[in-house]
């Protein structure tokens, strides 16, 4: 009787903290609009004020160069980074997996053209290509998602193609073809379930890359525009005050580090758990 694999203490323990951080990040992104936040409220008497315990949580992380609450903007920036990460990974996962699967299964001229297109995209550094596309499309969260999706689909396509090339000659696929199964049935019933595990692991690492890329574009002024909060733009605005008000940079910087590190650690744990060679 087949048993369902479960997370053992050796794999669940190291993943507990990353899961908590990612859950908190997602909850802040979801419930942020319903919280009594005012990230754009300017309070001139509190310009560059250090973190302090007040009656309200607005001052727990201090204030920026315009007297805006760092905590409020941090929560608002969590929603921005989460929207970009989910949008980019969803688009790249769907497009890259579809293109790579069809390319590896069909082979021939279609596969040759797809590989050449992937090689062209890989010839350019991803962040530089995203900067160029963002400059052409203009700033804004929608354009950031489009620019990063155009750059990021190649990783999923390469992985899906490699997996399909190694699986399409297996006995169960050849048996399905011999019994008259069409291309769609072979892909959906016999190939996609087998390649889904590595693609899901790749998607977790893609989330961390998307968060970092969005922060980088916003830091350069090509991403989310003021007054909308973004962790990258918060770091850019606070960089000039590092010596007198380091909390402006430390708060979004630590939040960005924790989210990306947690996503990568969760991806490592998920990869080890899905690998039957290392799972006990």
Q: What is the pLDDT of residue 277?
A: 58
Residue 19 in domain: no
Choose between 26 and 272: higher pLDDT: 26
Q: What is the largest CA-CA distance in the chain?
A: 78
Q: What is the pLDDT of residue 115?
A: 92
- Residues 127/213, Cβ–Cβ less than 8 Å: yes
Q: What is the pLDDT of residue 176?
A: 75
Q: What percent of the chain has pLDDT over 70?
A: 92
Residue 168 in domain: yes
Q: What is the pLDDT of residue 279?
A: 55
Q: What is the CATH number of the domain that holds 116?
A: 1.10.3720.10
The domain total for the chain is 1
Residue 207 in domain: yes
Band of the pLDDT at 9, cuts 50, 70, 90?
very low
Residue 14 in domain: no
- Measured CA to CA, the distance from residue 218 to residue 222 in angstroms comes to 5
Neighbours of 78 (CB within 10 A): 26
Residue 144 in domain: yes
The answer, yes or no, to whether residue 8 has pLDDT greater than 60, is: no
Residue 69 in domain: yes
Cα angle for residues 87, 200, 190 (degrees, 5° grid): 120
Q: What is the pLDDT of residue 182?
A: 72
The answer, yes or no, to whether residue 112 has pLDDT greater than 80, is: yes
Q: What is the pLDDT of residue 5?
A: 46
Backbone angles phi, psi at 63, to 5 degrees: -130, 155
Q: What is the per-residue pLDDT across 138-170, written as a single tens digit (0 to 9) for each?
A: 888 888 999 999 999 999 999 999 998 888 877
Choose between 264 and 138: higher pLDDT: 264
Query: What's the rounded mean pLDDT across residues 119-144?
Result: 86
The answer, yes or no, to whether residue 205 has pLDDT greater than 60, is: yes
- Residues 149/92, Cβ–Cβ less than 8 Å: yes
Q: What is the per-residue pLDDT across 76-102, written as a single tens digit (0 to 9) for each?
A: 999 999 999 999 999 999 999 999 999
Cα angle for residues 225, 36, 239 (degrees, 5° grid): 40
DSSP 8-class letter at 225? P
Choose between 279 and 130: higher pLDDT: 130
Residue 252 in domain: yes
Q: What is the pLDDT of residue 231?
A: 93
Q: What is the pLDDT of residue 280?
A: 55
Q: What is the per-residue pLDDT across 233-259, written as a single tens digit (0 to 9) for each?
A: 999 999 999 889 999 999 999 999 999
Q: What is the pLDDT of residue 3?
A: 43
Residue 45 in domain: no
Query: What's the rounded mean pLDDT across residues 206-222?
Result: 91
Task: Identify the domain containing residue 171 by its residue range.
Answer: 62-274
The answer, yes or no, to whether residue 2 has pLDDT greater than 70, is: no
């Amino acid at each position: 009787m087949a048993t369902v694999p479960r997370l053992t203490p050796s794999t669940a323990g190291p993943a507990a903290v990353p899961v908590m951080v990612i859950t908190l990040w997602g909850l802040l992104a979801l419930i942020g609009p319903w919280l009594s936040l005012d990230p754009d409220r300017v309070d001139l008497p509190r310009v560059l004020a250090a973190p302090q315990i007040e009656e309200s949580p607005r001052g727990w992380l201090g204030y920026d160069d315009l007297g805006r609450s760092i905590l409020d903007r941090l929560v608002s920036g969590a929603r921005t980074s989460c929207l970009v990460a989910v949008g980019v990974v969803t688009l790249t996962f769907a497009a890259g997996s579809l293109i790579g699967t069809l390319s590896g299964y069909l082979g021939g001229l279609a596969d040759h053209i797809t590989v050449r297109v992937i090689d062209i995209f890989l010839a350019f550094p991803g962040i530089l290509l995203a900067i160029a596309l963002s400059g052409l499309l203009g700033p804004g969260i929608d354009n950031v998602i489009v620019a990063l999706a155009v750059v990021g689909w190649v990783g999923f396509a390469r992985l899906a193609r490699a997996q399909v090339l190694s699986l399409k000659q297996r006995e169960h696929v050849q048996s399905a073809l011999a019994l008259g199964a069409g291309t769609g049935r072979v892909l959906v019933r016999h190939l996609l379930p087998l390649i889904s595990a590595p693609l899901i692991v790749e998607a977790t690492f893609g989330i961390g890359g998307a968060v970092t890329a969005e922060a980088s574009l916003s830091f350069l002024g090509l991403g989310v525009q003021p007054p909308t909060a973004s962790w990258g733009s918060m770091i850019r605005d606070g960089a000039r005050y590092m010596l007198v008000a380091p909390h402006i940079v430390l708060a979004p910087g630590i939040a960005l580090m924790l989210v990306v590190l947690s996503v990568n650690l969760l991806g490592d744990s998920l990869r080890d758990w899905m690998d039957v060679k290392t799972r006990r």
